[in-house]
Copies of this chain bind each other. A is one copy, B any other.
């Protein structure tokens, strides 16, 4: 059989599996904060950058509006964020943290440490891995804009 179609020779399969497994690693930890992984990413953005437009969050996290709108509504239901139309431009929806959302950051401080520990891999390799991932991402994104 053609070697190229063998599962073990697929490059993207371990990537696909690892991404899922890592999210599964986050799941029990984030459940403590009543967050899912993509919701956690939204919180990271808001904690770091402050109030953001929906489109800004989408741009930073590479998520479409069809994903973000319902996700943000669920976070609003949980009283972590506020969704407000911009008075300057009524098309824009500004996402900001509630007091609860701000407060949640304290509980989140320990999340990255726990994850790094359970990944159980040398910091060097983690860093190298991250860099290759980002390099491939850049390739993909630049070839998209070029095309």
Contacts and interface: CB of A to CB of B under 8 A. Distances in A.
Interface residues of A, number: 59
A115 B128 CA distance: 22
A100 to B, nearest CB: 17
A31 interface: no
Contacts of A133: 14-15, 18, 129
Nearest to A108: B5
A130 interface: yes
Interface stretch (A71-79, A81-89, A91-99, A117-125): A117-125
Interface in A114-143: 115-116, 118-121, 125-126, 128-130, 132-137, 139-141, 143
A17 interface: yes
A57 to B, nearest CB: 11
Contact of A139 (B115, B121, B137): B121
Contacts of A113: 4
A16 to B, nearest CB: 5
Contacts of A60: 7
